[in-house]
Homo-oligomer: A and B are copies of this chain.
Amino acid sequence: MSEQETWRELRDRRMAEPGAAEAYEAARIAYELGKAVRAMREGRGWSQNDLAREAGMTQSAVARFEAGGTIPTLPVLERLARALDADLEVRLTPRAPAA
């Protein structure tokens, strides 16, 4: 079945790390971002190569990111956002009211 597992496993293992709820969250966010970018890219009918060119990176980097293989850094997210005509938003929203 083509066995394309490594990054997926990497990600899964990360999301399963017990004592690290924060790490889990970061990995989850990375995964969501990867899916979002893939959706936007496909929405434009772009190949990973096209997006890579626009974002100033290589196809392998895009694949790695979309697969959730790593937790992306803000500069990379910015470049992808620009390439996709999107805005990168990063916020800390208080869970409890300012009370």
- CB within 8 Å of B: which residues of A? 21-23, 25-26, 29-30, 33, 36-37, 40, 43, 71-75, 77-82, 84-96, 98
Contact of A29 (CB < 8 Å), options: B22, B71, B90, B96: B90
Number of copies: 2
A85-B95, A90-B33, A92-B87 given; A74·B71 CB < 8 A: yes
Q: CB-CB < 8 A to A79: which residues of B? A: 22
- Residue of A75, A89, A92 ringed by the most chain B CB atoms within 10 A: A92
CA gap between A85 and B88 in the complex, in Å: 23
CA gap between A72 and B87 in the complex, in Å: 18
Instruction: Check B33–A92 contact: CB distance below 8 A.
Output: yes
